[in-house]
Amino acid sequence: MNEMILLKLGELVLKGLNRRAFEDKLQANIHRRLNGFGQFRVYTRQSTTYVEPMKEDCDMDGAWEAMKKVFGVVGLSRARACQKDKDAILAACREYLDRRLKTAHTFKVETKRADKTFPMTSIQLSQYVGGELDELYPNLQVDVHHPELTVYVEIRDYAAFVHADPDPGAGGLPVGINGRAVALLSGDIDSPVASWMIAKRGVALEMVHFFSYPYTSPQAKEKVLELARLLTPWCGHLTVHVVPFTAIQEELRRSCPEELFTIIMRRFMMRISQQVAQRCGAKALVTGECLGQVASQTMEAMAVTGAVADIPILRPCVGLDKEEIVQIARKIGTFDTSILPYEDCCTVFTPRHPRLRPLPGEVELAEEKLDVETMVQQAVEGIERIHI
């Protein structure tokens, strides 16, 4: 039998009557991620999803890397299927894991017997396979507590499977199972991490980027599009809504108190993002805000900023410190792009002494000088949509 990939499910197995909906969404996401790697059969049995190549020319290495970034999977293994017979299982171990068995010094065999009709118990089969491998490979010693190599044997409905230690999966829930949200994507470290974190909870994303040409360069825009490209292996296809923001920022500089500039600017971002959410059926906004990180991210400032939105604002990074955010950015591959030295619209007209704890009344009073509705509508009408 051919090599295949076994995907171990995480939270999905705890779902009740709606578990099938989660599994169907996961399988649909897997099929999309496998496009370009060949023809595969994907099916779920007994809390495991099987990715089985249907032709010899399937790109198993490419499929393996793609499956590592599928949310909803907590562990994955490249495995060899064989007949449900003790000697066939031993032969599969010797053939499929021979290189690993020759280079390891300690090992153990761990058996899971989902098919209870198999004539040997899990312990009996582990003892048989382990004993034979111990004799066949003089370099090996049995260590049931801290083995260098664990040989896994799984007896399932249609076949037995052998594989070595599984790799960790992406975890979380299948993208799309928890609806759609609009994420505010800038060129910083935090917002791509926030997008990744909320996608991990099963949320499909639309991206909004605020572009202030000529104060921000085309390279800054391309940097954000590259961040979106880096997120697509995790999040699936993305649309980036590029909002022309120059006119709004120039009007705020002319008409608003300097110390309130950043707060009022972010209120406009929330209003525009909510308009985008209404157009694409999204039910929440996502930001990379982290409590206390900058002046606009105090509790008072976030309350005033979020007051203009009628839908929830999700802030997955709010309780993380910068080092934790950086670690995630490195893990998901966005860090090196995020630190490229291109300006962001949030750095345009930065006030010298921003208000740390603004009051709702004073911000609303400052906005009375503005034609808020017209400014928002003109920005929305000028949106450029880029499909990643």
Query: What pLDDT digit, counting tens, does each position of 23-40 carry?
Result: 999 999 999 999 989 999
Identify which of 107, 176, 168, 167 has the alpha carbon closest to the alpha carbon of residue 137.
Answer: 107
SS (H, E, C) 36-105: CCCCEEEEEECCEEEEEECCCCCCHHHHHHHHCCCCCEEEEEEEEEECCCHHHHHHHHHHHCHHHHHHCC
Query: Any long-range contacts for 53-59 (C-beta under 8 Å, 24+ apart)?
Result: 53/2, 53/3, 53/4, 56/2
C-alpha pair distances (Å), 213 with each of 227, 243, 248: 19, 11, 12
Q: Which numeric CATH code is attached to 3-170?
A: 3.30.2130.30
- Which tokens in the block code for residue 60? 């198993």
Strands 149-155, 106-113: pairing kind: parallel
Bridge pairing between strands 141-142 and 48-53 = unpaired
Q: What are the boundaries of each domain within the chain?
A: 3-170, 180-387
Q: At 231, is the secondary structure helix, strand, or coil?
A: helix
What percent of the chain lies above the pLDDT cut of 90? 80
Residue type, 168: P
Output 15 or 246, whichever has higher pLDDT: 246
| Chain mean pLDDT for the chain | 93
Tens of pLDDT, residues 114-141: 889 999 999 999 999 999 999 999 999 9
Quote the CA–CA distance of 72 and 200 in Å, as a whole number: 8
Banded model confidence at residue 272, pLDDT cuts 50, 70, 90: very high
Task: Give 80: exposed, middle or buried? Use CB within 10 Å, 0-12, 13-18, 19+.
Answer: buried
Answer whether 275's CB lies under 8 Å from 314's CB: no
Rounded Cα distance between 112 and 327, Å, is 35
Asked if 76 and 49 count as a contact pair (C-beta separation under 8 A), the reply is no
* Whole-prediction pTM: 0.90
Q: What percent of the chain has pLDDT over 70?
A: 98
**180-387 topology per CATH:** Rossmann fold (3.40.50)
The span from the CA of 90 to the CA of 212, in Å, is 64
CA within 13 Å, CB half, 50: 21
Smallest Cα–Cα separation from 65: which of 177, 198, 169, 162? 169
Instruction: Return the bridge partners of 7, or none.
Output: 49, 76
- Residue 1 is predicted with a pLDDT of 54
Q: For residues 1 and 315, which has the higher predicted lDDT (pLDDT)?
A: 315
Q: If you average pLDDT over residues 240-265, what whole number do you get?
A: 93
Rounded CA-CA distance 374/371 in Å is 6
The residue-averaged pLDDT of 216-234 equals: 95
Distance CA 40, CA 34 (A): 8
Whether the Cβ atoms of residue 143 and residue 106 lie closer than 8 Å to each other:
yes
CA–CA gap between residue 86 and residue 78 (Å, rounded): 20
Q: Does the pLDDT at position 344 exceed 80?
A: no
- Find residue 294's DSSP bridge partners: none
* DSSP H or E run through 235: helix 218-235
Residue 354 has pLDDT above 80, yes or no: no
